Structure 1
Amino acid sequence: MPSAVRFGVNYTPSQGWFHHWLDFDLDAVRADLDSVSALGLDHIRVFPLWPYFQPDRALIRPRAVEHLVQLVDAAAERGLDVNVDGLQGHLSSFDFLPAWTRTWHRRNLFTDPEVLDGQAAYLHTLAAALADRPNFLGMTLGNEVNQFSAGPHPDPDRATAEQIDAWLERMLAACEKGAPGRLHLHAEYDATWYQDDMPFTPAQAARRGALTAVHSWVFNGTAQRYGRTSVASEHHAAYLIELSKAWADDPHRPVWLQEVGAPAPLVPAEHAAAFTEATVANALDCPGLWGITWWCSHDVSRDLADFPELEYTLGLLTNDRRPKDLARSLSRAAREHTDAPAPRTTALTVPADPAARSRCAPGGDVFEAFFRLTADGARPTTVLDTRAADQDHLAGRGITEIVTPDQVLHTPRGGTRS
């Protein structure tokens, strides 16, 4: 019986990176997608750069939208479904925001009425252009746009959690109006789960949109603190999947591991395949996983300048479309994985207060307790401390045992309960 888990890749064009939209070459795209399809993957996530598609608030370029449709159709010819990421946003250390939101036209991305009108029109336009394509999965609002809303961004667009919630509601509604019934969602980097003052909250991530997306990168302090082959590094993606479930109202809400990669030098090239194999296997041990979408398809060309060094080597395939060992690891998992994981019956309590999220970050007591339990073979999930006595909630998730971080960290043998 084939696995219900989806396996895909974030598509980074081999020619011109995401700047390929400026010199769109459908033949080059087709060749890239052939190399992705050959790995046995079933979907891609694509990135129409926002300022290239909407350079003026009142101008959404028809030719750019046409190129996006052509890309989606080319993917369909190769058996690939497509998720489209809308508001780019932030990619690989670069910000891509239209000039009508910056400098002399500086307006808040999340609260200015005219900016919101422009964003909603843009998302609706992309979704509507693809609504009749059977392989169109749906829209992601943008790539890690939460990084614009707080530090450490050097020029953040400050907003309250309530304002962000209203922004999410409006933008998701624009996508739904454009393409009813598709999987429309939002996705943030892990500050949503780890940073106390981040106005994008875990509750929003786990309750708004068709499913929950998590982005797992061990360069966030995990690999630096615990080591490349540590339980924490190899299970970090699984941790985020299970951490997200604490805030979900639906006990069966699917979770999408939408970004995960093997970043050098913390994961050297000769160890990338082993890291990939371990990360994927551990993620697949999480019930309710919708899919795994690796970052990324092709290496960034060395002809392009100013990227952080790690960005040049993250691809499953080289810049000339040759598969690496880590591509073979992911391909093998896509072919061979069939078993649905057993429920996770032990739940670690996490603080419901979003101002205490740093306890869940690397070095925090929740983080450390989770991985002590994992090392002890407990296969933990998480539950909000405010729900720990809610028997209906626990039963709906199959949870039979509750432990607190304090209990775990003060018990011998790394978390075995007495």
Structure 2
Amino acid sequence: MTNHRTTPRFGVNYTPSQGWFHHWLDFDLEAIRADLDSVAALGLDHIRAFPLWPLFQPNRTLIRPQALDQLGRLVDAAAEFALDVAVDGLQGHLSSFDFLPSWTRTWHRRNLFTDPGVLDGQATYLRTLAASLADRPNFLGMTVGNEFDQFSGDPHPDPDRVTPDRAASWLRRMLAACEDGAPGRLHLHAAYDAAWYRDDHPFTPAHAARIGGATAVHSWVFNGTAQQYGGDSFAAGQHAAYLIELSKAWAQDPHRPVWLQEVGAPAPHVPPGQAAAFTRTTVTAALDCPDLWGITWWCSHDVDRALADFPELEYTLGLLTTDRHPKPTATTLAAVAAESHAPAPPRTTALVLDLPEHGPERSDCAPGGRWFDAFMRLAADGARPTTILSTHTTDKPYLTARGITELVTLDDLG
């Protein structure tokens, strides 16, 4: 399903205020309702929810009915507050912690992307999850998993290696299972920025921009942007918009929707006193990107400091505190969401990326890279740039569909 929207949506990745994602072990619907009430009070219209895979499918042939019921009750509770819900399946990886079922690890070690038994189990799980929610009007659709590609290579300490071709096959099979379970909903997959920036990463820009109902981008300035340019720099404020526009170089549909599925203001890379300004700058820049499906902030509530061993920045990423009080980032996002947003006009100037079709040479697009700096230079000069692969520069119907009238190369910029 390709969902072309004219008005971007505003939402939040739901992190429960009590127990973080371990809340599935002590499911408390009233606490969830209170959390969702505090989210809805910000004027947001959707959440992204995260079942923990090993709790929902502890054995390859056991998907717990009680867990499915709890997920359904969460989605129904969201409907009470006029919130739609997108659900991630294979959790997978969250906030530096891996959550993988025991039937894939240690004595049962099998590759997450290639083992036939594991693939059967994953597909059945995703199909079952989607089917359990298919009749709920506020269910948006499935994301295969949260940055599940991070299991496929470095820097993961114990990666499950896969080739780009096998990665594409895996994605298509998982998305087909989601579609089987809930036909016609918005099903997609989400990679972390290694897909765009790391030369040897098996999940490629072409996978992200061509497989699934929309392109998901996750924008984090602790990836080198803040370290090289500063947390309050022009590049940091434009990073999310850059990723949105970078993704369009590989998209075959000139109006493929792009979902800014994760973006946040991580301290100390973005100092707390600058977080509200960073939020407005980042969101405003993203809204200036055509074909933006929506913006989903990371995350709803802070992590309770009673929980140990999180990286320091993870504790304070919430729009709301653990007692559900809005922070400056929350009031800023709410104010922007309440404003009127006309569809962004086409970006007529395109930076030409001289890259192979499937993007194995990606590091020049990363912070500090040639194309990253060229894009930021154009943006700073007011050009509202987008990107295009050099192989598409003579395709006049494609250029017309995207509204591109000017092509700029690195040579043009000197």
Cα distance in 1 for residues equivalent to 2:81 and 2:354: 45
Corresponding residue to 1:178 among 149, 170, 181? 181
Cα distance in 2 for residues equivalent to 1:276 and 1:337: 17
Aligned to 1:371: 376
The Cα offsets for residues 30-76 of structure 1, whole Å up to 9 and x where unpaired, read as 00000000000000000000011111101111101100000000000
Secondary structure of 2:361 counterpart: helix
Corresponding residue to 1:230 among 230, 233, 237? 233
Aligned to 2:100: 97
Cα distance in 2 for residues equivalent to 1:259 and 1:351: 28
Cα distance in 2 for residues equivalent to 1:351 and 1:168: 26
- Read off the aligned partner of 2:23 and give its amino acid letter: H
Cα distance in 1 for residues equivalent to 2:344 and 2:233: 22
Corresponding residue to 1:73 among 66, 73, 76? 76
- Read off the aligned partner of 2:382 and give its amino acid letter: G
Structure 1 stretches of 5 or more lacking a match? Answer: 411-418
Aligned to 1:299: 302
Secondary structure of 1:86 counterpart: strand
Aligned to 2:401: 396
The Cα offsets for residues 140-164 of structure 1, whole Å up to 9 and x where unpaired, read as 0000011110101111100001001
- Read off the aligned partner of 1:291 and give its amino acid letter: G
Question: Is this contact kept in 2: 1:92–1:307, CA < 8 A?
Answer: yes
Q: How do 1:145-224 and structure 2 match up within 5 A? A: 145-224=148-227
Question: Is this contact kept in 1: 2:16–2:23, CA < 8 A?
Answer: yes
By relative contact order (CA 8 Å, sep 6+), the higher-ranking structure is 2
Cα distance in 2 for residues equivalent to 1:392 and 1:340: 22
Aligned to 1:407: 412
Aligned to 1:343: 346
- Read off the aligned partner of 1:374 and give its amino acid letter: A
Secondary structure of 1:32 counterpart: helix
Q: Give the structure-2-normalised TM-score.
A: 0.97
Secondary structure of 2:113 counterpart: coil
- Read off the aligned partner of 2:229 and give its amino acid letter: Y
Q: How many residues align?
A: 408
- Read off the aligned partner of 1:398 and give its amino acid letter: G
The Cα offsets for residues 212-262 of structure 1, whole Å up to 9 and x where unpaired, read as 000000000001000112111000000000000011110011100000000
Secondary structure of 1:13 counterpart: coil
Secondary structure of 2:195 counterpart: helix
Aligned to 2:361: 356
Aligned to 1:416: none
1:86 aligns with 2:89: yes
Question: Is this contact kept in 2: 1:3–1:337, CA < 8 A?
Answer: no
Secondary structure of 1:292 counterpart: strand
Alpha-carbon deviation of 1:314?
A: 0.1
Aligned to 1:327: 330
Question: Is this contact kept in 2: 1:138–1:184, CA < 8 A?
Answer: yes
Cα distance in 1 for residues equivalent to 2:88 and 2:365: 27
- Read off the aligned partner of 2:141 and give its amino acid letter: G
Question: Is this contact kept in 2: 1:14–1:299, CA < 8 A?
Answer: yes
The ranges of structure 1 where at least 4 consecutive aligned residues each deviate by more than 3 angstroms after the TM superposition are none
- Read off the aligned partner of 1:325 and give its amino acid letter: P
Cα distance in 1 for residues equivalent to 2:116 and 2:207: 21
Identity of aligned residues (%): 73
Question: Is this contact kept in 2: 1:234–1:282, CA < 8 A?
Answer: yes
Secondary structure of 2:362 counterpart: helix
Cα distance in 1 for residues equivalent to 2:266 and 2:41: 23
- Read off the aligned partner of 1:115 and give its amino acid letter: V
Question: Is this contact kept in 1: 2:68–2:129, CA < 8 A?
Answer: yes
Question: Is this contact kept in 1: 2:110–2:118, CA < 8 A?
Answer: yes
- Read off the aligned partner of 2:159 and give its amino acid letter: P
Alpha-carbon deviation of 1:3?
A: 7.1
Secondary structure of 2:352 counterpart: strand
CA spacing shift, 1:407–1:245, aligned 2, 3 Å? same
Cα distance in 1 for residues equivalent to 2:63 and 2:39: 29
Secondary structure of 1:356 counterpart: coil
The Cα offsets for residues 354-388 of structure 1, whole Å up to 9 and x where unpaired, read as 22111100111000100000010000000001111
Question: Is this contact kept in 1: 2:143–2:189, CA < 8 A?
Answer: yes
Cα distance in 1 for residues equivalent to 2:393 and 2:117: 43
Secondary structure of 2:360 counterpart: helix
Question: Is this contact kept in 2: 1:231–1:374, CA < 8 A?
Answer: no
1:317 aligns with 2:327: no
Cα distance in 1 for residues equivalent to 2:393 and 2:99: 42
- Read off the aligned partner of 1:376 and give its amino acid letter: D
Aligned to 1:277: 280
Question: Is this contact kept in 2: 1:242–1:286, CA < 8 A?
Answer: yes
Secondary structure of 1:370 counterpart: helix
Alpha-carbon deviation of 1:269?
A: 1.2
Secondary structure of 1:235 counterpart: helix
Corresponding residue to 1:51 among 50, 54, 60? 54
- Read off the aligned partner of 1:384 and give its amino acid letter: L
CA spacing shift, 1:52–1:364, aligned 2, 3 Å? same
The Cα offsets for residues 197-218 of structure 1, whole Å up to 9 and x where unpaired, read as 1111111111111110000000
Question: Is this contact kept in 1: 2:244–2:258, CA < 8 A?
Answer: yes
User: What value does the CA root-mean-square deviation take over the aligned residues?
Assistant: 1.0
